[in-house]
Structure 1
Amino acid sequence: MKLVKLLASTIISTVMASGVYAGDATHLRIQTHYAAGHPSGKLAQQFADDINIMSNGKISVEMFYSSSVVGTADTFDAAVNGILDCDMTGGIFQVGKNPGFQFLADVMGGYETPWQMYSWLYFGGGKELAQKLYNEQGMEFVGWWLYGQESLTSTRSIANPEEMKGWKFRSPPGLETEIFTAMGATPIVMDFTEVFTAMETGIIDGADASGLANNVGFGFYDIANYATYPGFHSMTADHLSCNKDVWDGMPESHKRIIDTAMQKLAFQTTLSNEKANAEAAKTLLDKGVVLQDWSPEDRAKFRATAQQAWDRWAKKTPEAAALIESHRKYLGALGLLTE
């Protein structure tokens, strides 16, 4: 069924000059991993509508939700190979291609707010470095949309680095496991669908899943009584990246419209999630859940441990080294860097 849908989409899109500037019209096929009904999916649809309206109908976007054409991790390659035109997932899925993508997706232990991270991108030389790495893969980096700091969920207190020792939790693989292992925790990589049962049965003490509002939606606080908030360890960026030939084939006016719509998407994503998380925090406090905000000193300890892992990652590729150096310089300018 998926193949049939893909072939049908390809035929229709070819007729509509997909991904190619034809006459005065551009048609783009974009896939996101978010469901159409998810808050981020709704924002993605607004992004597509904004582009259409601002271009007076000259740019049309065919949005595919819930990774309906190819798997989430394959979206980037599908755009590179022309199955899609643009990828609206995130660079975190491309770390296997180059470890530098980690530092264009989640600078663990780095920035404390999404606004600081956006600032590095637009005013700290980040976009130029991102563009170089994406271009090497045949893609154009357009921008980020960040929902903010993630919160750790726990069935026991994790109010500081000492309480982190021996804490067993669901973790994504890679950089995060290195940092938390060094902190004395026990990260366990598992399928996301197993998290609730694993916490309920005591196999794990908690989980790194998402932001506070999303964690409430997952039902975690039916069994967990602690959460870090507003969070300190992880802030994942989703991206928009497009096939470079497709992007280069569009007129400058179309590129500017898409860039403008992307910056609006970023702004509204961050603001809407801040509101949702604040509302979730009030609900949880009323329920008796303990929200734990690490002190500046404890955050500095985490950041120092994270930097040790960064140093190892900087040795993996020149691109990773350049990105880490750039982040260090900017974090230092913001007064966040721990030497």
Structure 2
Amino acid sequence: MQDHQKTKSASAAPANPDRRRAIKTLGVSAAIGVGATAIGAPFISDPAKAATTTWKVQTSWPAGAGLNTFKAWCATIKERSGGELEFKAFAAKEVVGDFELFDGVKNGVLEAMNSFTVYWAGKLPATAFLSSYLMGLRYPHEWDIFFYSKGGLQMARDVFAKQGIYYVNRIHHGPNIVHSKKPIRSIEDFKDLKLRVPGGMIAEGFAAVGAKTTLLPGGEVFSALEKGTIEAADYTGPAVNWDLGFQQVTKYIWMGPPGLESIYQPVDLMDFCVGMNHWNKLSPQMKQFVESEVQVYSNVHHAAIQKADLEAWDKFAKAGTEVNRLPAEDLPKFQRVAVPIWFKWANKDKDAARVFKAQLELMESPSMGYVTPDMYKGQKLDL
């Protein structure tokens, strides 16, 4: 099949050079529009001659700017691939449950997924370190240093490959915040608070400071808050949370100190993953196309979320929502809680240890410098 696709690509391109240049320009324009470094995706073949492969792709987004951006991007794939590949987009829970996405791709119900990577920490401990965690890497560029300068991307691909899934790339999102029915003004206010969290190290961190944590997918948070099953909930940023109606069932928002919007998920990374059998059916050119497109999507997605978040703050203010920020003096308290949890999770398996070791080296480096050896004295990594 790959040789057949190569032949089509080679024979079709000279017959339609203007269209080829136009599609390339479209990809470049999309990238430049959000300050991207990725180049536009290549035109693959003549859409009139291509046999279209359709992938069902479900996202974790239930609504809002995230879902809208995902669907808009998916709608461009068929034309930009020259008709060879089409993404049929599905919102959260439209095909499988939010926490069933991984198995849906693994078992072939879906060809691909756009998920919050932290959801899979219970299945794959290393994935707890492939998205933000309590007091870990704090800004998007730090994550990109890990992925592209410390071997993080290949580590992620190795972890998912063992499950028959190809991890194409990370997708930048933004910080998560906590909506609450009662004010949270210090670390002590988490004691006995019924709090929704995404699981993994984040759940253990908040449980360690006294919260009564519950694991729920994003699509169930509003109803749980409305019914009083939970008193507070972590979930994405202000724009999506506004669209989900959290202002109707909570009065307060809790965030990190100024300059650090979230201390537990400051860069809530998503991913784009494909069933390995479907990935392996693609030609080398189409694999490159998908990888380039996911990079472009990450840039567009991140920019759209940040813009929407900035606009959402005024809406919360007008709705009477009170924003409380963590006092800076509480950061060391969370740091003391976080460190033993880091090492506990890192030592769950060799993959987790390998991923965390690379991140610990970054956090200790002069470029970042917010972790020092004395902070984890007595802790060891089982490599």
- Band the TM-score falls in, shorter-chain normalisation: 0.7 to 0.9
Equivalent position of 2:13 in the other structure: none
Q: Which ranges of structure 1 fall in alignment gaps of 5 or more residues?
A: 1-16
Equivalent position of 1:245 in the other structure: 277
Partners of 1:30 and 1:159 in 2: CA distance: 44
Partners of 2:107 and 2:214 in 1: CA distance: 34
Shift of 1:129: 0.8
The structure-2 alpha-carbon separation of the partners of 1:287 and 1:246, relative to structure 1 and needing over 3 Å to count, comes to: closer
Partners of 1:223 and 1:72 in 2: CA distance: 22
Partners of 2:180 and 2:231 in 1: CA distance: 6
Secondary structure at 2:210's aligned position in 1?
Answer: coil
Shift of 1:34: 4.9
Deviations 1:40-90 (A, max 9, x none): 233223333443333322333333444433333333333333343222224
Partners of 1:38 and 1:287 in 2: CA distance: 18
Equivalent position of 1:335 in the other structure: 369
Correspondence for 1:118 among 144, 151, 162: 144
The structure-2 alpha-carbon separation of the partners of 1:168 and 1:80, relative to structure 1 and needing over 3 Å to count, comes to: closer
Deviations 1:16-59 (A, max 9, x none): x9xx9697456141321357964323322333344333332233
Residue 62 of structure 2 corresponds to residue 30 of structure 1: no
- Paired residue type of 2:69: L
Equivalent position of 2:226 in the other structure: 197
Report how many residues are paired: 318
Partners of 1:218 and 1:41 in 2: CA distance: 12
Equivalent position of 1:7 in the other structure: none
Residue 96 of structure 2 corresponds to residue 70 of structure 1: yes
Correspondence for 2:85 among 59, 62, 68: 59
- Paired residue type of 1:285: A
Q: Which ranges of structure 2 fall in alignment gaps of 5 or more residues?
A: 9-49, 256-260, 376-383
- Paired residue type of 1:292: N
Aligned-residue sequence identity (percent) comes to 23
Pairing of 1:209-220 with structure 2 (within 5 A): 209-220=235-246
Deviations 1:253-294 (A, max 9, x none): 211211111111111211111121111222223444322333
Q: Is contact 2:132–2:269 with CA below 8 Å preserved after alignment?
A: yes
The structure-2 alpha-carbon separation of the partners of 1:244 and 1:22, relative to structure 1 and needing over 3 Å to count, comes to: farther
The structure-2 alpha-carbon separation of the partners of 1:117 and 1:293, relative to structure 1 and needing over 3 Å to count, comes to: farther
Secondary structure at 2:146's aligned position in 1?
Answer: helix
TM-score normalised by structure 1 residue count:
0.81
Report the RMSD for the aligned CA atoms in angstroms: 2.9
Equivalent position of 2:323 in the other structure: 291
Partners of 1:159 and 1:67 in 2: CA distance: 34
Equivalent position of 1:231 in the other structure: 262
Deviations 1:226-263 (A, max 9, x none): 21243222243221111223323322221121111111
TM-score normalised by structure 2 residue count:
0.73
Equivalent position of 1:146 in the other structure: 172
- Paired residue type of 1:233: Y
Shift of 1:206: 1.8
Q: Is contact 1:21–1:249 with CA below 8 Å preserved after alignment?
A: no
